[in-house]
Amino acid sequence: MLPGSRGSGRSSLTTSRPNVASTTACPSNRGGSWRPYVALWAVRSKAAPDQVGWWAISGDLPTDYLTAAAHLKTHGDVLFAFAKQWRAAAERMRNGEHLPGYVIGDPSRAKELAPLLDSRADLLQEFGEDLNHGETAGEG
């Protein structure tokens, strides 16, 4: 779904460049919860071009990436992985700390940004659940 379009909010996978595929979803209002614009990018591995090497996420949320792993079988699983990482980061940020080698935002604003990161993690978790339900049913 392209930003600005209306629809179910379900994702579609398209190849936009030779080495990148993307999933983009638009905001929806399901039960009163707002969803950010989200672009989920499957970046092909240089070592194995027929496989995903990295996942990247951008939109109305922090831009981030993670290494592809065998347990990330669906787009929803990838969103769960980002949500888990963000919750761990937010927990540290509340204490004025950060995960080793991982910083989101200006470290001097960590305590202020922690609840925002938690809320984005919650939304990604919900969106991932919706995506996995659709993919399981053959809709995603």
Q: pLDDT digits over 30-44, tens only?
A: 555 555 688 999 999
60 falls in which pLDDT band (50, 70, 90)? confident
The whole-number pLDDT of residue 15 equals 30
Write down the pTM of the prediction.
Answer: 0.73
- How confident is the model over 64-114, as pLDDT tens digits? 999 999 999 999 999 999 999 999 999 999 999 988 988 888 999 999 999
Question: Distance between CA atoms of 89 and 32, rounded to whole angstroms?
Answer: 26
The whole-number pLDDT of residue 116 equals 95
Find, among 53, 20, 21, 122, the residue nearest to 11 by Cα. Answer: 21
The whole-number pLDDT of residue 87 equals 97
CB atoms within 10 A of CB 38: 25
DSSP letter, residue 104 = -
Domain boundaries, the chain: 13-136
DSSP letter, residue 49 = T
